[in-house]
Copies of this chain bind each other. A is one copy, B any other.
Amino acid sequence: MDGSVSTWLASDYNKENIQLCIKKIKDEFGQQFSSSKSILEQHTHTMTIHESELPDGVVFAETKEDVQKVVKICNEFKCPIIPFGVGSSFEGHVNAPYGGISIDMNNMNKILNVFQEDLLVVVQPGVTREQLNTHLRDTGLFFPIDPGANASIGGMTATRASGTNAVRYGTMKDNVIALEVVTPDGQIIKTANKARKSSAGYDLTRLMVGSEGTLGITTEITLKLYGIPEVIAGGRVSFPSVKDATDAVIMTVQTGIPVARIEFLDIAQVKAVNSYSKTNLPEAPLLLLEFHGSEASVKEQSELFGEIASDFGGNDFEWTSNNEDRNKLWKARHDAYWSCKAVRPEAEIYSTDVCVPISKLSDCITETIEDMEQNQLIGPIVSHAGDGNFHVALLIDKKSEIELKKLDSFLIRISERAIRMDGTCTGEHGVGQGKRKYMLIELGGAVDIMKKVKNAFDPNKIMNPGKLFL
C-alpha cells in the first residue's frame, strides 16, 4: 500500500457533494443544525498558532443515533466530519481544513451509570471532567485525570490526555476500560466489556484512545474510578539547579514513593508567579508535590521525599496535610497560567509540550531555556516531572511576523530535541495539525502503518481529515 494513501488533498473532497450533504443534514436536523458565522467560528477557535479553518455547518448531537445519522450521511457524500468537545485542544484538532460538518458533542453530557463496587463509570463524551467529579463527590470516588482545562471526557479520550497526576494514576490510555464508537461507515460498536482486564483480541480501546477523531466518534466511555484519598498532603521545595531538581525526581520515582503529583517550575515561571501573586519564592527551580494516602502514609512519603530533596540541595522542603495550607504551597502552580499572561499582557500564550525519558529531562529543559535565551523568546516552563513531560508557555505577539517566525523555528527545534533524546514531540497535547511534520522524524515507517490503519477504518477519508499525519 502506498504510504500516501491516506494523505488528504483538497481534491479528495467535492465541493458540490459537500453542499448536497450539508443540505441533507440541515433538512434532517433542523434546529440542531447551524451554519451561522459566529457558530462556525466558535467551533474552530483554537488555542494555538493555527488560524481558524471553518466547517460548512455544525450539528449539535443529542444521541448516539444522531451521531450515526450524521456519519452515514457524510460517508455517503464523502464529506469531512470534525468532532468537537469544548475546543480546549492546543494543536488545531477542531479545525476544518477541507470544510464539512463539525459535530458538537456537548449535549451528549449524561453520566449514564456509576458502578461503585467495580470502580467504574459510564459517561457520554460531552461530560466534562469537573462535571464528573462533582457528580461523584458523594460516592467517595473520583476520576483523577486532570489536563488543566475543564475538557470534555470525549476530547480527553481522543487526544490521550493526561496532566499533573499521571505519574500516579496514568493517562487516559490507562483509565479507559471500554468505548462505544460510531465507525466511519456508521456502525455502532463496543471495543470491550467491563472487565478490568482482557486478552480478547486486538486492543481497539487503546487504538481509539489518542486517535483524534480520525477513526470514529466515541459515544460512550467507560472509565476507571479511584477512592478519594483519606488525606492529601502538599509539599514545596527549591533546588540549586534544574539537574538537582530532576535528580530528586528520579530518585523519588526509583524509591517507589507513590507521589500523586510532582511538578517542576523553572526560574522564569517562579519569577512570573512571584510578580503576579506577590510571593517571595526563591528565584530557583521549584518542585511542588502532592501525596495521597492515610495520615501515616503521607507523613512517611513526605519525610522520605524530604530526605531525598535534601540530598540534592533542596533544604527548605515544606509540607502539610492541611488543605488550606496546601493550597498556599501550591499557589505557584495554580497561578502559573495567569502569571505568564501578566509577564507580557499584550502577548498570546502558545503552549507546546514534549516528553523525554526522565534521565534526559534536565538536559532537555536546560537546552530549551538556552535556546529561548539565544533567540529572545520568553517561555516559562512547567513540567510533569515524574513523566519526563514539560510545557513551554511561549509569549508571542501574534501581530509580529518576526515573532511568529521565531516561534515556528523554536517549535521545530524543541520537537527535534525531544526526539533526538529518544522522546516524543508531544507528551499529552496530541498531534492535531501542529505536530504532524514531526511524526515521520519520530516514528519513521510506523507512520505508514498508521495510514494503513486509517485507510482500513475510513477509506472515504471523512473522519477529521488533515490531522495526525501529513
B-contacting residues of A (Cβ < 8 Å)? 1, 115-120, 140, 159-162, 166, 170-171, 173-174, 183, 187-204, 206-207, 209-211, 215, 226-227, 229-230, 250, 253-256, 258, 293-294, 296-297, 300, 304, 355-359, 387-389, 418-419, 422-431, 435, 438-439, 442-450, 452-457, 468-469
Select from chain B the residue with minimum beta-carbon distance to A292: B256
| A contact face: mostly helix, strand, loop, or mixed | loop
Q: A456 contacts which of B197, B359, B455 (Cβ < 8 Å)?
A: B455
The CA-CA distance from A140 to B442 in the complex, in Å, is: 31
Q: What are 15 residue pairs bridging A and B, where the CB atoms are less than 8 Å apart in the complex? A: A117-B358, A118-B357, A140-B254, A189-B443, A195-B418, A195-B424, A197-B427, A201-B450, A201-B469, A202-B207, A204-B446, A207-B207, A258-B258, A294-B300, A297-B297
Residues of B within 8 A of A296 (CB): 296, 300
Instruction: List 4 additional A-B contacts (Cβ < 8 Å) besides A201-B443, A201-B450, A452-B456.
Output: A140-B254, A162-B199, A198-B424, A453-B456
Q: A203 contacts which of B160, B297, B387, B429 (Cβ < 8 Å)?
A: B160
- Shortest Cβ distance from residue A400 to the other chain B in the assembled complex, whole angstroms: 30
Residues of B within 8 A of A418 (CB): 195
Residues of B within 8 A of A356 (CB): 195
The CA-CA distance from A137 to B382 in the complex, in Å, is: 35
Q: Are B199 and A357 in contact (CB under 8 A)?
A: no
The CA-CA distance from A439 to B429 in the complex, in Å, is: 34
Q: Are A449 and B355 in contact (CB under 8 A)?
A: no
Q: Are B445 and A118 in contact (CB under 8 A)?
A: no
- Shortest Cβ distance from residue A346 to the other chain B in the assembled complex, whole angstroms: 31
Select from chain B the residue with minimum beta-carbon distance to A172: B199
- Shortest Cβ distance from residue A182 to the other chain B in the assembled complex, whole angstroms: 11
The CA-CA distance from A191 to B206 in the complex, in Å, is: 14
The CA-CA distance from A446 to B193 in the complex, in Å, is: 11
Select from chain B the residue with minimum beta-carbon distance to A216: B449
Residues of B within 8 A of A304 (CB): 294
Given A119-B253, A194-B423, residue A200 in contact with residue B300 (CB < 8 A): no
The CA-CA distance from A200 to B435 in the complex, in Å, is: 8
Q: A445 contacts which of B170, B187, B387, B445 (Cβ < 8 Å)?
A: B187
Residues of B within 8 A of A210 (CB): 199, 201-203
Residues of B within 8 A of A161 (CB): 199
Residues of B within 8 A of A439 (CB): 200-201
Closest 3 CB pairs of A and B: A456-B456, A206-B206, A117-B359
Q: Are B211 and A468 in contact (CB under 8 A)?
A: no
Q: Are A359 and B115 in contact (CB under 8 A)?
A: yes
- Tell which of A193, A200, A229 has the most Cβ of chain B within 10 Å: A200
The CA-CA distance from A117 to B117 in the complex, in Å, is: 37
The CA-CA distance from A435 to B199 in the complex, in Å, is: 10
The CA-CA distance from A255 to B423 in the complex, in Å, is: 36
Select from chain B the residue with minimum beta-carbon distance to A247: B117
Residues of B within 8 A of A258 (CB): 258
The CA-CA distance from A443 to B450 in the complex, in Å, is: 23
The CA-CA distance from A196 to B418 in the complex, in Å, is: 13
Residues of B within 8 A of A229 (CB): 256
Residues of B within 8 A of A171 (CB): 197, 199
Q: Are A193 and B424 in contact (CB under 8 A)?
A: yes
Q: Are B202 and A211 in contact (CB under 8 A)?
A: yes
- Shortest Cβ distance from residue A351 to the other chain B in the assembled complex, whole angstroms: 14
The CA-CA distance from A55 to B262 in the complex, in Å, is: 53
Q: Are A200 and B426 in contact (CB under 8 A)?
A: yes
Q: Are A431 and B120 in contact (CB under 8 A)?
A: no
Select from chain B the residue with minimum beta-carbon distance to A159: B199
Select from chain B the residue with minimum beta-carbon distance to A226: B256
The CA-CA distance from A119 to B255 in the complex, in Å, is: 11
- Shortest Cβ distance from residue A179 to the other chain B in the assembled complex, whole angstroms: 10
Q: Are B173 and A423 in contact (CB under 8 A)?
A: no
Given A117-B254, A300-B297, residue A449 in contact with residue B196 (CB < 8 A): no
- Shortest Cβ distance from residue A454 to the other chain B in the assembled complex, whole angstroms: 8
- Shortest Cβ distance from residue A348 to the other chain B in the assembled complex, whole angstroms: 23
Q: A202 contacts which of B115, B166, B438, B450 (Cβ < 8 Å)?
A: B450
Q: Are A426 and B198 in contact (CB under 8 A)?
A: yes
Select from chain B the residue with minimum beta-carbon distance to A295: B300
Residues of B within 8 A of A448 (CB): 187
